Every structure is written in structure tokens, then in C-alpha cells.
């Protein structure tokens, strides 16, 4: 990776981190768990990485298996994460 590309990625990283900080300022305690769970689902974005890994690197056994393993785990994280968050939040609505 060339330095310029890296630096611009760092821009993205820095700005996104700031944004992450600013977005969460005051959260009522009832939302702590859903928020954790919801953002956990977002961190399942590794699934994109896993997809790329299984595909591009799909030729060696080890890389492939690792990729597939990662893909399964990431999918669990994503699907389970969103589903469970939604379940929790649905509960709140009922009131």
C-alpha cells in the first residue's frame, strides 16, 4: 500500500472514530445492551473481509478453510447480532 493511500485511509479512520465518539454521548441504561448488541452486529462487517478471503484466496486449502471458517463465524455474528438486537428492541416497544 502506498503512503498516500494509507494516509487517506487514516483520515477515514480518524474521522470515523471521532464520529463514533460523538454519536454515543448519552445513552439511557436500558439501551446499553441493545446498543452493544447492535454495534456488535455492525462489527460483523468482517463478513465482507471473509467473503473476499474465501473468494480471492480460495485456492490454497489452508487459506480457504480459514476464510470459510471466518465466513461462518462472521455470518453468525451478523445474522444473530441483528436478530437478537431487534428482539430486544421489540420488547421495549411493547410498552
Contact residues for a second copy, defined by CB under 8 A: 8-9, 11-12, 15-16, 18-19, 22-23
Contact 77, 41 (CB under 8 A): yes
Torsion angle of C-alpha atoms 67, 9, 20, 23, degrees rounded to 10:
-130
CB of 15 to another protein, least distance (A): 7
Q: CB under 5 to 8 A by kind: which of another protein, a second copy, none does 94 bind?
A: none
Question: Contacts with another protein in 57-76 (CB under 8 A)?
Answer: 57-60, 62-64, 66-76
Question: Contacts with another protein in 36-55 (CB under 8 A)?
Answer: 36-55
At a CB cut-off of 8 Å and minimum separation 6, what does 80 contact?
41
Amino acid at each position: 500500500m502506498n503512503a498516500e493511500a494509507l494516509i487517506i485511509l487514516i483520515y477515514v479512520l480518524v474521522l470515523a472514530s471521532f464520529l463514533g465518539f460523538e454519536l454515543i454521548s448519552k445513552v439511557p441504561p436500558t439501551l446499553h445492551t441493545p446498543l452493544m448488541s447492535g454495534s456488535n452486529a455492525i462489527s460483523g462487517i468482517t463478513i465482507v473481509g471473509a467473503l473476499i478471503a474465501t473468494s480471492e484466496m480460495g485456492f490454497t486449502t489452508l487459506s480457504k478453510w480459514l476464510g470459510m471458517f471466518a465466513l461462518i463465524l462472521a455470518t453468525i455474528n451478523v445474522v444473530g447480532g441483528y436478530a437478537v438486537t431487534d428482539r430486544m428492541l421489540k420488547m421495549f416497544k411493547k410498552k
